[in-house]
Amino acid sequence: MAKEKIDTIEKIAISQELKSAVFTDLDESRRVLVRCHVSPQKEEVFIRIWTSTFLMDENSDHVSSLQHAENISYFPNWTKVEKGKRRQFVLIFDALPKRCKKFHFIEQIPQGGGFICMNIPRNGEDIYDLEMI
């Protein structure tokens, strides 16, 4: 078996400023996963999600936009959830800033009945479970 020649790679110096910028961007490029649970007890309900659903940092003007939804219809369509049944849907949002400690989940719609959950404590995984109904 022939030995392969291994070239040595010269180490390149990277400024601390560039390292900080790159690692900050990488950390903040993570997505936020929100698993929503709906369990109507009195009667069936119809749910949907609007693209105008956001995560809002409690202490800044940062807003994370909805990127994708699974297992729920987008407006104008509806998803039926039968009485006594449990349905989970998953929403994926842009990252929250590293400094964010609490945020709000708000579906901004031009009618009543939008999903809202306030003062959600931030966790290290950025995966959240919310009981909606």
Give a yes or no: residue 81 inside a domain.
yes
Answer for the pair 107, 19: CB distance below 8 angstroms, yes or no. no
Number of structural domains in the chain? 1
Tens of pLDDT, residues 29-80: 689 999 999 999 999 999 999 999 999 999 999 999 999 999 999 999 999 9
**Residue 99 domain-assigned?**
yes
Phi-psi map region of 84: left, alpha, beta (phi>0 left; psi -120 to 50 alpha): left
16, part of any domain: no
Q: How far apart are CA 11 and CA 43, in angstroms?
A: 66
CB atoms within 10 A of CB 75: 13
Please give the residue range of the domain that contains residue 83.
Answer: 31-131
Which residues pair with residue 37 across a beta bridge? 88, 131
Provide the phi-psi class of 16: left if phi over 0, else alpha when psi is between -120 and 50, else beta: alpha
Element spanning 64, H or E: strand 63-70
User: 3-state class of 130 per DSSP?
Assistant: strand
Band of the pLDDT at 6, cuts 50, 70, 90? very low
Predicted confidence at residue 85, as pLDDT, reads: 95
6 occurs within a structural domain:
no
Residue 115 lies in a domain: yes
Q: Report yes or no on 113 lying in a domain.
A: yes
What is the pLDDT at residue 29? 63
pLDDT at 122 over 50: yes
Residue 57 forms part of a structural domain: yes
Is 3's pLDDT higher than 60?
no
**pLDDT tens for each residue of 60-73:** 999 999 999 999 99
Query: Is 13 part of a structural domain of the chain?
Result: no
| In the predicted structure, residue 12 carries a pLDDT above the cut 80 | no
**Mean pLDDT throughout 96-106?**
96
pLDDT of residue 15: 57
- Rounded to whole angstroms, the Cα distance separating 36 from 130 reads 5
- Residues 6 or more apart whose CB falls under 8 angstroms from that of 98 comprise 24, 27, 28
